[in-house]
């Protein structure tokens, strides 16, 4: 387990506290629509932190080719129809480039700044000339609108139960997922990034914002710096 990260509940838990069985149950939301609208049809997408393929599978159904990367073999074992690579994102160096590199699930908010730098360098290293990097950021009130919960129509409740300062600009976030037959929790470190800090983190890695894709600023298309 990564330090500061923890998960509870049935089944395997990844080093960042994610439960494999939970992610196998979570429905996909608007992510595939946002991605499909932002990249060329049929693009080859390098998906960093793919988990069980919750987003991967709908992207494959839409005709994209996906290479899925995750540090958890238990997660990757659930991915179907995509090439899978088990690796930490920050250490990935495939020696090839992709039309699209995708960094979703707020992984850009990694608590450890060295990990975040490594992750963004991986994005820059793997994007083809003329390609782009899609990044999902936290919403503006992610760390302050707490506690909060949402009842999903498919029959579970997701709750951000607490967000506590953990030192050096990092918060410890506790999420709970309550299903009728099982409960999972995840505690993880998240570093809030204002728009300015996010953009300077990109610049450090040789990337710049091309477009904020959604009005809430959560989905971003970035490109290599001019």
Nearer to ligand SAM, 67 or 72 (CB): 72
Nearer to ligand SAM, 130 or 191 (CB): 191
| Smallest gap from residue 32 Cβ to ligand SAM (A) | 11
**Cβ atoms of residues 217 and 140 within 8 Å:** yes
Neighbours of 188 (CB within 10 A): 21
| Smallest gap from residue 216 Cβ to ligand SAM (A) | 17
220 binds ligand SAM (CB under 6 A): no
Q: What CA–CA distance (Å, rounded) separates 103 from 211?
A: 15
Hey, which residues does 68 pair with through a beta bridge? 47, 84
Binding flags for ligand SAM, 45-84, as an x/- string (CB under 6 A) = ----xxx--xx--------------xxx--x---------
Binding flags for ligand SAM, 99-138, as an x/- string (CB under 6 A) = -----xx-x-------------------------------
| b/e per residue 116-130 (b: at least 16 CB within 10 A) | bebbbbbbbbbbbee
Q: What CA–CA distance (Å, rounded) separates 176 from 201?
A: 29
Region 6-25 residues binding ligand SAM, contact defined as CB under 6 A: 14, 16, 18, 23
**Residues that contact ligand SAM, how many (by CB under 6 A):** 19
Half-sphere exposure of 94 (CA within 13 A, CB side): 24
| Smallest gap from residue 19 Cβ to ligand SAM (A) | 9
Strands (E), 88-179: 98-103, 127-136, 148-152, 156-165, 171-178
Neighbours of 190 (CB within 10 A): 19
Nearer to ligand SAM, 114 or 196 (CB): 114
**Cβ atoms of residues 67 and 96 within 8 Å:** no
Judged by CB under 6 A, which of 88, 97, 162, 214 binds ligand SAM?
Answer: 88
Residues that bind ligand SAM (CB under 6 A): 14, 16, 18, 23, 49-51, 54-55, 70-72, 75, 88-90, 104-105, 107
């Amino acid at each position: 387990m990564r330090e500061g990260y923890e998960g509870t509940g049935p089944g395997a838990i990844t080093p960042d506290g994610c439960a494999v069985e939970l992610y196998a149950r979570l429905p996909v939301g608007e992510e595939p629509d946002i991605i499909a609208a932002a990249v060329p049809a049929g693009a080859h997408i390098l998906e960093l932190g793919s988990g069980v393929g919750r987003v991967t599978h709908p992207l494959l159904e839409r005709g994209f080719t996906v290479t899925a990367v995750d540090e958890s073999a238990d997660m990757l074992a659930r991915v179907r129809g995509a090439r899978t690579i088990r690796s930490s994102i920050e250490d990935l160096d495939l020696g090839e480039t992709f039309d699209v590199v995708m960094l979703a699930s707020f992984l850009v908010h990694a608590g450890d700044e060295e990990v975040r730098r490594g992750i963004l360098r991986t994005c820059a290293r793997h994007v083809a000339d003329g390609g782009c990097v899609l990044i999902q950021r936290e919403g503006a009130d992610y760390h302050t609108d707490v506690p909060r919960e949402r009842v999903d129509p498919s029959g579970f409740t997701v709750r951000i139960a607490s967000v506590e300062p953990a030192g050096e600009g990092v918060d410890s976030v506790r999420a709970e997922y309550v299903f009728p037959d099982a409960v999972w929790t995840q505690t993880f470190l998240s570093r809030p990034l204002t728009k300015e800090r996010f953009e300077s983190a990109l610049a450090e890695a040789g990337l710049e914002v091309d477009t904020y894709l959604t009005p809430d600023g959560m989905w971003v298309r970035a490109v290599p710096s001019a």
